[in-house]
Amino acid sequence: MTVSYDNSKIVFDGIKAAGIRSVSALPETWLGLLLQRAEADPDVRLIQVAKEEEAIGVAAGAYLAGEPHLLLMQNHGFLAAINGIVSLAQLYSIPLCMLIALRGHWGEPYPWHTRGGIVTEPVLRALNIPFEYARDPKTVGRQIREAWTFSQSSLSPVALLLTRDLMED
């Protein structure tokens, strides 16, 4: 299995089409090609963090500054960022538009990803974070735009889960 070059481009084009000007991220395999595009694109600022919870602070700062910002992370990074999501974003009504690589789910061959994959959806539900699964390259662009719009209108964290169907060939 390899990361989908075509669909990584489609997701990145979707991020740009949604009007995003900066992206914070921690590199992970499925996001690699996307991050390369972000790094090479003069219209998008990529801020690479050391741990995902930092990105919640960076995203909050960008939002308060009025800059359209999106977070890219693996689901284990989402799990590592929960206190920031709850006690900064939700506490202060600060929106977050999160694209989360859903590792450790259907078709996962690596044991180390599985626990995080199994709990991702229940944790999103427990945190009252609206989410959708992105599986189809034909609709993912619209899903990104809608996730962005909803985060801004609801002043809430919103998650779009990038699945294996979308991210691997």
Candidates 162, 102, 160, 83; CA nearest to 129 is 160
Which of 9, 45, 135, 145 touches other proteins (CB under 8 A)? Answer: 45
Number of residues forming the site for other proteins (CB under 8 A):
33
Smallest gap from residue 134 Cβ to other proteins (A)? 25
Candidates 70, 46, 72; CA nearest to 59 is 70
Residue type, 110: Y
Stretch that binds other proteins, among 56-64, 115-123, 128-136, 142-150 (CB under 8 A): 56-64
Taking residues 91 to 130 in sequence order and writing x for each that binds other proteins by CB under 8 A, - otherwise, the string is: xxxx------------------------------------
Displacement of CA 168 from its chain's centroid (Å): 16
CA distances from 122 to 12, 128, 129, 141, 165 (A): 27, 10, 10, 25, 21
Where along the sequence are the contacts to other proteins (CB under 8 A)? 22, 24, 45, 47-51, 53-67, 69, 83-84, 87-88, 91-94, 155
